[in-house]
Structure 1
Amino acid sequence: MTTRPARGGRNPTMDQVAEAAGVSRATVSRVINGAPTVDAKIREMVQRAIAATGYVPNLAARTLVTRRTNSVALVISEPDRPDDSSFLNRVFTDPYFGRITAGATGALRLHDIHLVIIPTDSSDHHHVIRYLRQGHVDGVLLISSHERDPLPRQVHDLGIPAVLSARPAQPIPISHADVDQRLGARLAAEHLLGRGCRRLATISGPLDIPAGLDRLDGFRSYLANRGFADVPSVEGDFTRAGGEECAHRLLAQHPDVDGLFVASDLMSEGALRAVQDLGRRVPDEVAVVGFDDSSAALDCRPLLTTVRQPLEEMAAEMAELLMADIASPGRLPRSVTFQPTLVVRDSA
């Protein structure tokens, strides 16, 4: 294969790639745009010519042909955010969002797709919808689970390919990936009973999202079937400060609690601080089990026993579901449920 250097330092052209490969300009265009009808040997010749000439496809021109942007949006939606700085701080420091972003980015990189991160709340939804409607991205990975959040329905109604990060709070025909939340809570209850706890309680997640409800119901249902009908609970908000405040309130009302299931690792970190501030030893006097197996579990003292949900794998599956929806518009929605596991450390 011979190549012709670009004149005057200008970028190589598609015509030069065609000449180097010994094919037509139209064939080079079909290879660049991923046409499935190109013979494998010819595709390889063109790809070698692209590498030899240093040709870089014009993304704008390619977008006009394929109607693809090679970008997808990761939209992180919270229904209300009274303080923008605290909301953004949570987005970029909460291990949950970090793990979702890492898993999605890794999977999309294999498809040469870029990820655009968009935090939003109800006051900003119209800007997000306008951005999506204008075709800046090929699809949406949507983190939203609050029952009152209208964004999942709005995105669905746009007709753009979209995948949700959990079971939808409202009946919307949209693909999603989730973990078996109820099973995870049952694993926590089983472990606490197995180590001899008999006065159990829980700090739930927000009860306007499916994960909060399912973890609470899974924990209580398992215990009810084993004769523990009255299980105290306090509703939390998935933050450290919320976990600490809830634990103080719960233990003030029920000082004899000896086993505590906290519905997130961040809340567990705050709850452990409260338990120890009250002079209770962990796990000897109060055993604590969290949920997530995030980096927060390793920041806890003692190290946190927790239910692991494989968020990186779940996010990668979300990305693959989205790529399939982009490639085949009109596909029926699919759901994928991952299995949780218990990671035993020092807190229970």
Structure 2
Amino acid sequence: MAKRPTIHDVAAAAGVSRGTVSRVLNDDRYVSPAAHAAVRRAIAETGYIVNRNARSLVTQRTGSVVMALSEPHEKLFEDPNYSVLIRTAIRRLAERDVSLVMMLAGDEGDRERVLRYVRGGHADGVFLVSTHGGDALVDGLVDAKVPLVAQGAVIGRENVIPYAAADDREGARQMARHLVERGRRKVATITGPMDTPGGIQRLEGFADVLGRKASKRLIEHGDWTRLSGESAMARLLERTPDLDAVFVASDLMAAGALATLRAAGRRVPEDVAVGGFDDSSVAASTHPPLTTIRQPLAQVAEETVRLLLELIDGTGHVDPVILPTRLIVREST
């Protein structure tokens, strides 16, 4: 059986010391570009594989981070936004030879498992995705003093936990203005959960534009699922049958709203204009295709990864990143 290549073999092939190889493997910034390139070339030529256990003893790092999704299991597979976030995070982390551990935190048992895992020293940092106000997981992770960032602001912890997010409030304003400018006079909205930043800020943006016309009769709440969009639309129609537009705070809920309108015999957009939010894969597949707000999810994920890696590297304070949205007009308005 062929002998596995060692760090000494890499050093010999690269023409550098063993210490230089070690510094390259540990991402030491004080290595010349020429030496760094020579070591990476020698690793490829020799087929050397890093022993993560040995490396962890030296660096005090695990080489992995946790992505904690604070939603029930079924939402991970229903909402296409999560797949974009996960794919982007995996790709960006791989560039640093860091693995992503996906953990669901939708109920108390799941949250306890995440906390035990992180407190046990099995991860170098944590991404929070889709957090809700009053989430005990957040408090536990803050107390654990692990590098921690969020996709979207964490309600009540905006100045404690760094985050990257789309500009939810301005995106909602863009959609509300679009519906009003199209001549719609009675505009309703279906919000996300009101214990999430997206739920709160998208409602605020809607109200910024509609003012007093944003009455309680024209507001219903969903939970980001298609089914909640269906039922919220049904309640709006029952209460305000003459509404002529609805801004729905996610594409998935908007798909549910479209199904309810179709079942009620309402034409879209002739009778009721419908606008969504996300510009996910759902938006182009609805009938009619959905006018929506594009949020740059891949860029949000990349910025979240960058923030977490900077915290892990100990570069000090990092600032939140808020990215612009864009109105995408299709046939539903």
1:66 match: 59
Describe how 1:69-148 pairs up with structure 2 within 5 A.
69-78=62-71, 87-120=72-105, 121-148=107-134
CA RMSD of aligned residues (A): 1.7
Distance 1:263 1:38 in 2: 49
Q: Does residue 1:38 correspond to 2:31, yes or no? A: yes
- C-alpha displacement of 1:49: 2.9
- Partner of 1:9, secondary structure, is coil
Q: TM-score, normalised by structure 2?
A: 0.94
Distance 1:170 1:61, change over 3 A: same
Segments of 4+ moved more than 4 angstroms:
none
The answer to which of 247-256 and 134-143 deviates more is: 134-143
- Other structure's SS at 2:213 match: coil
2:233 to 247, 250, 253: 247
- Within a 5 Å distance, the mapping from 1:181-220 to structure 2 comes to 181-220=168-207
Greater alpha carbon shift after TM alignment, 189-198 vs 34-43: 34-43
Counterpart residue type for residue 166 of structure 2: V
* Aligned-partner Cα distance in 1 for 2:40–2:165: 39
Q: Which runs of 5+ in 2 are unaligned?
A: none
Cα distance 1:245–1:45, how it changes in 2: closer, same or farther (>3 A)? Answer: closer
**Partner of 2:200: helix, strand, or coil?**
helix
TM-score (norm 1): 0.90
8 Å contact from structure 2 (residues 104, 110) kept in 1 = no
Q: Provide the C-alpha distance between the structure 1 equivalents of 2:40 and 2:64, rounded to a whole number of angstroms.
A: 22
Q: Which has the larger radius of gyration?
A: 1
C-alpha distance in 1 between matches for 2:318 and 2:41: 38
Q: How many Å separate the matches in 2 of 1:298 and 1:229?
A: 28
CA contact (8 A) 2:307 2:318 kept: no
Distance 1:221 1:53, change over 3 A: closer
Give the Cα–Cα distance (whole angstroms) in 1 for the partners of residues 313 and 234 of structure 2. 51
**Residues 228 and 21 of structure 1, relative CA distance in 2, 3 Å threshold:** closer
Match of 2:2? 9
CA distance in structure 2 between the aligned counterparts of 1:27 and 1:214, rounded to whole angstroms = 50
| C-alpha deviation, 1:104, in angstroms | 1.5
In the other structure, the counterpart of 1:344 is 329
Alpha carbons of 1:198 and 1:116: their partners in 2 closer, same or farther (altered >3 Å)? same
Counterpart in the other structure of 2:13: 20
Question: In structure 1, how many angstroms separate the alpha carbons of the residues matched to 2:132 and 2:260?
Answer: 27
Q: 2:41 aligns with which of 39, 48, 51?
A: 48
